[in-house]
């Protein structure tokens, strides 16, 4: 019936070169990129563990404490320069308020850092899934700025707290000056 020859077709040189190039790329992928992908996947799963949450919370609390420490000295100096006795109730109350604010800000910063850690973990999981689907160019996009955002928020909270207190002090000083001036004019003009 049709007597064709059982010869196998020859591979062209171009096909052979393409096969060799593909094998080289695949081997390079296995040697270089698979370990990196596995390392990334492990870091994503580590972010969901308790140690990552503790580390994030501790870092945020430490940043809050550092911001407080940088501002409290100036606040104390202003109170002393204003003639407020450190043993007075006013001084003690003001300092107590500052330390109470510190506790609130540290708690909020810690909670915010832990929420950001959850976002990082869930975003990482999405990146791993996209890597598995082969559709992610940059699986880690959006992960970098979380700590900086939290630090900026803490710095802003302390700046607002200390600025509000300074404005109150200035308003009291203006009111006191006006009252003293009015009294002087009233009594000084009659005497």
pLDDT by residue, tens only, the chain of 191 residues: 555 555 666 778 888 888 899 899 889 888 988 888 888 889 889 988 999 999 999 999 999 999 999 889 899 999 999 999 999 999 999 999 999 999 999 999 999 999 999 998 998 888 888 877 766 554 444 444 555 566 677 767 767 766 666 666 665 666 665 665 665 666 665 44
CA separation, residue 109 to residues 56, 63, 98, 116 (Å): 10, 9, 16, 10
* Residue-level length of the chain: 191
Q: Which of 98, 82, 71, 92 is nearest to 172 (CA)?
A: 82
CA separation, residue 158 to residues 29, 33, 91, 96, 151 (Å): 49, 44, 19, 15, 11
For the record, the structure tokens of 191 come out as: 């005497």
Q: Could you give the CA distance from residue 128 to residue 61 in angstroms, rounded to a whole number?
A: 30
pLDDT at 94: 92
CA separation, residue 166 to residues 82, 112, 122 (Å): 12, 27, 42
pLDDT at 2: 54
Alpha helical stretches, state H, the chain: 13-28, 34-47, 50-81, 89-133, 146-190
For the record, the structure tokens of 112 come out as: 């915010």
Q: What is the pTM of this model?
A: 0.57
């Amino acid at each position: 019936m049709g007597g064709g020859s059982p010869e196998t077709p020859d591979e062209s040189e171009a096909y052979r070169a393409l096969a060799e190039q593909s094998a080289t790329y695949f081997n390079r992928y296995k040697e270089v990129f698979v370990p990196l992908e596995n390392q990334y996947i492990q870091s994503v799963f580590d972010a969901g563990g308790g140690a990552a949450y503790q580390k994030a919370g501790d870092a945020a609390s430490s940043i809050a404490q550092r911001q407080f420490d940088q501002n409290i000295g100036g606040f104390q100096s202003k109170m002393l320069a204003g003639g407020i006795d450190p043993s007075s109730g006013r001084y003690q109350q003001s300092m107590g308020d500052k330390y109470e604010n510190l506790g609130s800000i540290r708690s909020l910063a810690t909670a915010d850092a832990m929420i950001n850690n959850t976002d990082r973990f869930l975003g990482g999981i999405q990146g791993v899934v996209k890597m598995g689907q082969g559709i992610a160019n940059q699986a880690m996009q959006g992960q970098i700025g979380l700590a900086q955002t939290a630090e900026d928020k803490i710095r802003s909270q302390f700046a607002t707290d200390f600025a509000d207190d300074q404005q109150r002090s200035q308003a009291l000083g203006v009111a006191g000056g006006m009252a003293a001036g009015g009294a002087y004019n009233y009594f000084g003009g009659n005497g």
